[in-house]
Chains A and B, each alone.
Chain A
Amino acid sequence: MPFDTAYEAISEDTDTGHRWAFGTGFTDPLAGVDTDVPAGVGGADLAAYSLMLGDDALIMSHRLQEWLARAPELEEDTALANVALDLLGQARLLLTRAGAADGSDRTEDDYAFARGEREFRNVRLAEVTDADFAGLIARLLVFSTWRLALLTKLQSSGDPVLAAVASQGVKELTYHRDYAAEWVIRLGDGTDYSRERMQAGLVAVAPLVPELFEVSAVERRLMAAGVAPDPGETRAEFDAVIGHVLEAAALDMPAVPGLAGVRGQTGRGGVHTEAMGYVLAELQSVARAMPGATW
């Protein structure tokens, strides 16, 4: 059919109601958004910041995808796939934004498949492996609670594209957080055994929490320009939400020092854990073996 974009083909305006039993009503989150880089904002900084948020989503999404067909129930497979797909959608928009902002015109694929480990800017929380389902749920609760708090503030960003991505993401992350919280409470308030494993999940994730609230030099400059929110300011909401969930689950988050970086650098500075290499090896192997391949 002669449509310019996939969205057009299935949007409410062009869907005559005959082809889809339930209708579609899909919307393009960037419809009508001004994509110029706002005046007074450094393109390189904006690109770097888009990569930070985009890489968080991309790498977390990849780790979630690894759970497909391995979750305890078929229904959970689908739930985790939905979460992974939401995050992948956010990553695509953010990586595309990075290419437009730094003037390199690199595509989302160039960023995802052609960068080395040190060029990824995700927090280390996104890349680590999970010992079991409870471990994944603990990590998803922390990740989505933090990201929701961050994107809620990002909705008033001076960059209209980031603001639009954020307002789409807030709806998605609200569900992710709700999904994870439900499971934390179920497992924490379940049997002695489920409780033990849920607590072990929290113990594993705790050292990765402090990094989430650190402020990088790029973020500091964009905070001054009104483009990025202060990650440190999300701490209060994060603590309140996590505290609320863990109280209902009768669990506790261990207060431990953050996982050390290298010479003061952590994920945002391109310094990752051992797990990151394995993520990229799988994510990039086909693209690196057959550059530019299409199907």
Chain B
Amino acid sequence: MSESASGEQARTHQAGPKQTPPLSTWPLYEVFLRSKRGLNHVHVGSLHAADATMALRHARDLYTRRNEGVSIWVVKAADITASSPDEKDPFFAPSGDKVYRHPTFYEIPDNVPHI
């Protein structure tokens, strides 16, 4: 049956409005994991995927095989705006000598975690 039926379907298969032309390579995604013992998501690496859904599955297969994570974030590498190494001094140096910004002049109670 299949020959004629699938041929028929192929002819009537309409490109949907959301259809985009095929990509020659898959875009890069950055992967963030939160481990069982971790409090926040940590960058663990990158991978290639056709879209975000596939990136999430690839991240599961590449970065959680040894029980590393309980939560995954993926984000397109192109969507990350990063600070430039050239701006390192104006960005970060001014905070270097301002020790009073750290709460080291106080006694921290034992029952306050994660400081």
- How many angstroms between the C-alpha atoms of A250 and B38 in the bound complex? 43
Q: Does A153 contact B (CB under 8 A)?
A: no
Flag if B13 contacts A22 (CB, 8 Å): no
> Of A23, A74, A182, which is within 8 A of B35 by CB?
A23
Flag if A22 contacts B10 (CB, 8 Å): no
Flag if A78 contacts B61 (CB, 8 Å): yes
- How many angstroms between the C-alpha atoms of A24 and B48 in the bound complex? 26
Shortest C-beta distance, B42 to chain A (Å), equals 9
Flag if A22 contacts B48 (CB, 8 Å): no
Flag if B1 contacts A256 (CB, 8 Å): yes
- How many angstroms between the C-alpha atoms of A175 and B60 in the bound complex? 10
Flag if A23 contacts B36 (CB, 8 Å): yes
Q: Which residues from 186 to 244 on chain A have a C-beta closer than 8 Å to any C-beta of chain B?
A: 186, 190-192, 195-196, 199, 202-203, 206
- How many angstroms between the C-alpha atoms of A202 and B9 in the bound complex? 14
Residue of A nearest to B26 (CB): A73
> Of A73, A203, A250, A256, which is within 8 A of B13 by CB?
A250
Given the contacts A182-B57, A256-B1, A75 and B13 also touching, CB distance less than 8 Å: no
Flag if B9 contacts A75 (CB, 8 Å): no
Shortest C-beta distance, A133 to chain B (Å), equals 14
Given the contacts A22-B68, A23-B37, A26-B67, A79 and B53 also touching, CB distance less than 8 Å: no
Shortest C-beta distance, B11 to chain A (Å), equals 9
Q: Does A29 contact B (CB under 8 A)?
A: no
Shortest C-beta distance, B46 to chain A (Å), equals 11
> What range describes how many residues of B lie at the interface?
20 to 34
Flag if B53 contacts A75 (CB, 8 Å): no
Flag if A203 contacts B37 (CB, 8 Å): no
| Chain B 39-54 per-residue mask, 1 if CB under 8 angstroms from chain A, else 0 | 0000000011110011
| Chain A 23-50 per-residue mask, 1 if CB under 8 angstroms from chain B, else 0 | 1111000000000000000000000000
Flag if A22 contacts B66 (CB, 8 Å): yes
- How many angstroms between the C-alpha atoms of A202 and B48 in the bound complex? 27
Q: Does B93 contact A (CB under 8 A)?
A: no
Flag if A75 contacts B49 (CB, 8 Å): yes
- How many angstroms between the C-alpha atoms of A71 and B26 in the bound complex? 15
Count of CB-CB pairs between chains A and B under 8 Å: 75
Q: Does A179 contact B (CB under 8 A)?
A: yes
> Of B36, B38, B61, which is within 8 A of A75 by CB?
B61
Shortest C-beta distance, B58 to chain A (Å), equals 4
Q: Which residues from 41 to 100 on chain B have a C-beta closer than 8 Å to any C-beta of chain A?
A: 47-50, 53-54, 57-58, 60-62, 65-69
Question: Which residues of chain A are within 8 angstroms of B33 by Cβ–Cβ distance?
Answer: 22
- Determine which residue in A73, A175, A179, A254 has the highest number of CB atoms from chain B within 10 A of its CB, and name it: A73
Flag if B37 contacts A254 (CB, 8 Å): no
- How many angstroms between the C-alpha atoms of A256 and B6 in the bound complex? 14
Residue of A nearest to B2 (CB): A254
Residue of A nearest to B53 (CB): A182
Question: Which residues of chain A are within 8 angstroms of B10 by Cβ–Cβ distance?
Answer: 192, 195-196, 199
Q: Enumerate 18 A-B pairs (CB-CB under 8 Å) in ascending A order.
A: A21-B35, A22-B66, A23-B35, A23-B37, A24-B66, A24-B67, A73-B26, A75-B47, A75-B48, A75-B61, A78-B58, A79-B57, A82-B61, A186-B54, A192-B13, A202-B2, A252-B9, A254-B5
What residues make up the interface of A, taking CB atoms closer than 8 Å to B? 17, 21-26, 73-75, 78-79, 82, 175, 179, 182, 186, 190-192, 195-196, 199, 202-203, 206, 250-252, 254-256
What residues make up the interface of B, taking CB atoms closer than 8 Å to A? 1-2, 5-6, 9-10, 13, 22, 26, 33, 35-38, 47-50, 53-54, 57-58, 60-62, 65-69
Given contacts A73-B26, A75-B58, A195-B10, 8 further A-B contacts (CB under 8 A): A22-B33, A22-B69, A75-B48, A75-B61, A79-B57, A186-B50, A199-B2, A206-B2
